[in-house]
Amino acid sequence: MKAAVSSEWLKLRSVASTYHTLGTAALTVLLGVGWTLYVSALADERGSLRAAAPEQGFLPLVQISLAVLGVLAVTSEYATGTIRPSLAAVPRRGTLLLAKAGIVGLTTFTAATTILLLTYSVSRLLASGHNLGFNTTPLADDLPSLLASSLSATALALVGLGLGTAIRSTAGGIVSVVALLFVLPGIANYLPSPWNTRVATLLLPNIVPQIVGARLSSRLGDGFLPPWAALAVLCAYPVIALAVGYVLLKRRDA
Amino acid sequence: MVRRARGPPSRILYGVIELQHLTKRYGGTLAVDDLSFKVEPGHVTGFLGPNGAGKSTTMRLILGLDAPTSGRALVNGRAYTSLRRPMREVGALLDASAVHGGRSAYNHLLSLALTNDIGAARVAEVLAQVGLAGVARKRVGGFSLGMKQRLGIASALLGDPGVLMFDEPVNGLDPDGVRWIRDLMRSLAAEGRTVLLSSHLMSEMALTAERILIVGRGRLIAEATVAELTSRYPSLEDAYMALTAGSVQYGAAR
Amino acid sequence: MSVLTSEWLKIRSIRSTSLIIGLSLSAVLLGFGLAVMAAGMYDSAPVDRRPSARISDLEEVVVIVPQLCMGILGTLAMTSEYVTGLIRTSLTIVPRRWPLLGAKAAVVVAAALVIGPTVVFGTYFLSRWVLGDRFSGAYTVAFLDRLPVLATVSLTVPVFALLGLGLGALLRSTPAAISITVGLVYVIPIIIGNIPEPWSERLGSLMIAALPRQITGDGNANSVYGSLLPPVAAAAVLVAYAALPLLVAAWLLRRRDV
């Protein structure tokens, strides 16, 4: 297992797409700076205003970039054919998938946490002296939300890995995480009440607010899940996706 | 360019490939049909047959990449998938183009080596052995077909295994490379290894192999020494043509 | 003409084409389901609350499915050749590179021109049939009055196909092209929703989903999208989404080694 993990770590480090996806996610820090400067300038004009926190506003960018990283971790093996040498070297398919999951999980959690904390700190530094609505709470109060956000990005990356394994296609894998992150929530929004909130409460983008006990949105109101249940649902996503990926990987010819 | 495999190996290289009524069906086509044979150590065994005869499928079945419909393929008396460090017992080159174009040759090999607890020193060794030491840090995407073949052979040699399988390793090699392969195969066999080699180049096969297995439509057509075949027919090529007449079909190609 | 036929064959033989087209068309079923559900909700609501019940235009809700799918089809039409190395063969057979790109563009636009209107008008008529005069008669507005919006919304589907193709030819990478398409459709609108005025409205007016109602002059009330563009400018922006990546790609395709 340790051997497979170190191999997966090398595989991830040695392709450019990893740096592209991480770089795209890290754009959040720069965007956060621009954002904070912009709303600070507006606040100077208008006295004060309520703006969304940049680490929340740009979270979808972090989530989707890291999800693509998760998808590519396996679909690039299918696209190039390296899945066969990989499986010849590690014939126990569960070991291979678990090693990939471990590396993708660790990498994306580290990346997401770093990016979100950096965005948070830089924006609070730049915003000091202004009242922007998002910079009034102490870090201790914001920490659960930051952690839940990076967990959600990690979960999505692992979902991408699981579904990528099941679908074996880069396009298909990306589309499925996009569906989970954007399309389904978009459609759930339009369901007639109360079904919109009932469905939305289980969807990925709405899990983070429920973990920290916040409202989903002005349209959807409060979710139905207590924090521990929201955390359980968040974990269920990657577990189910990886389980589906594992069963198919195990049963199919490579 | 011509390099000999390094001196006498320190461990016992004895290895056997044994197929017992191996059968593989894809949908309605029988790719491998009740195939039974044994490949013994100490000489190169040529694996011949028309395109689509089931040679590559057989190799995939031996490596556990595809699951047999019935029957068994054993390496040293065990199923490949049950081997703990398979690369140390079996090395295989199936498809030289199965590499991630963005990865360097060194990283490609190291990512495979790590899974079987093979060190970086051994990676450098096989790179030198196949004549790629000078381009070890270059992207594989820029390699010629011949260089990719050498890289694929390097990956098969990584674990210094007793059993080696090569599927069409001569494709794309220059005359110098063809001779190099011939010498390499023969010296690997002379060291007491088991070498299974598939190729369509009959003249080359006559020079390299000692025993020949011919398959057609997934079934074993002939099993003989090169000497036996060339005594009964004008050449190995004539033997092949006579024996496979009627077996040329592409139904099982995959 | 022969280039066109060959591209048509190639597109049909992409493993996922039938899946993508099936998925696109299933958006009609999705719209139908939403309409049935909405009708059920409306009927079970207390009579006094019914007049305040609102419904979104379902065809504009479900059109994101064929938009995304056709964008991906456009991308795959180009990138699948790079993945397999087929592009070298293709450009040997059709050495002039613009006809190759042009033929691919024609084929994906043709597909999208069938699928876009099918989904939009199909959803519209099914919703009209299911909902009748519920929701304050949202679906009893005369068809001819709705036609301009329906037609321009349908046209966004071929725009996505060309955008996907252009990005695919430009970036030569499936994940990169699809990610940018997804970013344009989903990520940026979410971010724009969080930006304070006036930039929220300025950027919101430039999003693809904001363009149809600016072209028809209806405007985007009650959404994250803005309505700052006059019809002609909005139409120009829509064309630019399709044409710009494709033109840059065509220029690069000529200059770059394959």
Tell me how far apart the alpha carbons of residues B104 and A31 are, in angstroms, rounded to a whole number: 33
Q: What value does the mean pLDDT take over residues B123-142?
A: 95
Q: Which residue has the tokens 């990610």?
A: C179
More confident residue, C224 or A113: A113
The verdict on a CB contact (< 8 Å) between B67 and A253 is yes
DSSP character for B6? P
Is the Cβ pair C38, A192 closer than 8 Å? Answer: yes
The residue whose two tokens read 């030569």 is C172
Instruction: Compute φ and ψ for B33, nearest 5 degrees.
Output: -125, 100
From the CB of residue C43, how many other CB atoms can be counted at a distance below 10 Å? Answer: 9
How large is the average pLDDT for residues A71-83?
95
* pLDDT tops 90 at residue C126: yes
Q: Express each pLDDT in B193-203 by its tens digit.
A: 999 999 888 88
Residue of B1 and B11 predicted with greater confidence: B11
Q: What is the band of B191 on the pLDDT scale with cuts at 50, 70, 90?
A: very high
8 Å CB contact of C175 and A182: no
pLDDT bin (cut points 50, 70, 90) of residue A19 is: very high
pLDDT attached to residue B9: 43
Chains adjacent to B (≥3 CB pairs closer than 8 angstroms): A
ipTM: 0.87
Q: What is the pLDDT of residues A105-153, one digit of tens each?
A: 999 999 999 999 999 999 999 988 888 888 888 888 899 999 999 999 9
- pLDDT tens profile B49-90: 998 899 999 999 999 999 999 999 999 999 999 998 999 999
Q: Does B69 touch chain A (CB under 8 A)?
A: no
Report the pLDDT averaged over residues C36-60: 82
Reported as a pLDDT band with limits 50, 70 and 90, residue B164 is: very high
From the list B107, B117, B155, the residue facing A85 with the nearest CB is B155
Q: pLDDT grade, residue C15 (50/70/90)? A: low
Please check whether residue A22 touches C, CB under 8 A: no
N-term to C-term CA, chain C: 24
What is the token pair recorded at B98? 């199965």
**Residue closest to A165 by CA, chosen among A104, A100, A249:** A249
- Which residue from B minimizes the CA distance to A91? B81
Contact C34 A190 (CB under 8 A): yes
Question: CA angle, B83 as apex, B78 and B88 as ends, to 5°?
Answer: 110
Q: Is the pLDDT of residue C184 over 80?
A: yes
The whole-number pLDDT of residue A215 equals: 79
C232/C14: higher pLDDT: C232
Cα distance between residue A238 and residue A157, in whole Å = 8
Q: Token pair 């077909």 is at which residue?
A: B145
Per-residue pLDDT at B248 exceeds 70 = no
Name the average pLDDT for chain A: 91
**How many angstroms separate the Cα of A251 from the Cα of each of B28, B29, B72?**
19, 19, 17
C-alpha to C-alpha distance for B34 and B28, rounded to whole angstroms: 15
Q: How many CB atoms lie within 10 A of CB A44?
A: 11
- Contact of C67 with C185, CB cutoff 8 Å: yes
DSSP designation for B78: B
Q: Average pLDDT in the B8-29 region? A: 80
Buried b (16+ CB within 10 A) or exposed e, A113-133: bebbbbbbebbbebbeebebb
- The arithmetic mean of pLDDT across residues B9-35, rounded, is 84
Task: Note the pLDDT of residue C168.
Answer: 94
Q: Is C178 within 8 Å of A174 when comparing Cβ atoms?
A: yes
Closest residue, chain B, to A82 (C-alpha) = B98
From the CA of A97, how many Å to the nearest CA of chain B?
13
d(CA A116, CA A109): 10
The CA–CA distances, whole Å, from B6 to B3, B128, B129, B151 equal 9, 11, 8, 17
Closest partner residue to A10 among B63, B107, B155, by Cβ? B107
At B112, the pLDDT band (50, 70, 90 cuts) reads: very high
Q: Is the pLDDT of residue C89 over 60?
A: yes
Q: In the predicted model, what is the mean pLDDT of residues B182-211?
A: 93
User: What average pLDDT does this structure show over C228-254?
Assistant: 92
Sheet with B70-75, strands from edge to edge, namely B29-39, B17-26, B70-75
What is d(CA C176, CA C85) in angstroms, rounded to the nearest whole number?
18
What are the helix (H) ranges across A168-226?
170-178, 184-190, 195-200, 207-211
Q: What is the pLDDT of residue C14?
A: 67
Residue A1 forms contact with B (CB below 8 Å): no
Comparing A63-77, B10-24, C145-159, which segment has the lowest mean pLDDT? B10-24
Region of poorest pLDDT, from A83-97, A117-131, C214-228: C214-228
**Could you read off the pLDDT of A22-64 as tens digits, one per residue?**
999 999 999 999 989 988 888 888 777 788 889 988 999 999 9
Domain span holding position A75: 2-251
Determine if residue B46 is left, alpha or beta; phi over 0 gives left, psi from -120 to 50 gives alpha, anything else beta.
beta
Name residue A100's amino acid.
K
pLDDT confidence band for B251 (50 / 70 / 90): very low
Q: What's the pLDDT band for B1 if we cut at 50, 70, 90?
A: very low
As for how many domains chain A has, the answer is 1
Residues 139-168 of B with CB under 8 A from A: 155
pLDDT > 90 in chain A, percent: 68
Q: What pLDDT, on the 0 to 100 scale, is given for residue B13?
A: 59
pLDDT at A224 over 80: yes
Of C68, C75, C175, the CB nearest to A72: C175
Residue A205 reports pLDDT greater than 80 = yes
**Pairwise CB contact (< 8 Å): C176 & A193:** no
Count CB atoms within 10 A of the CB of residue C96: 11
CB A61 to CB C42 under 8 A? no
Q: Residue C222, exposed/middle/buried by CB under 10 A (0-12, 13-18, 19+)?
A: exposed
Residue A214, Cα to own-chain centre: how many angstroms?
19
B65 with A88: Cβ contact below 8 A:
yes
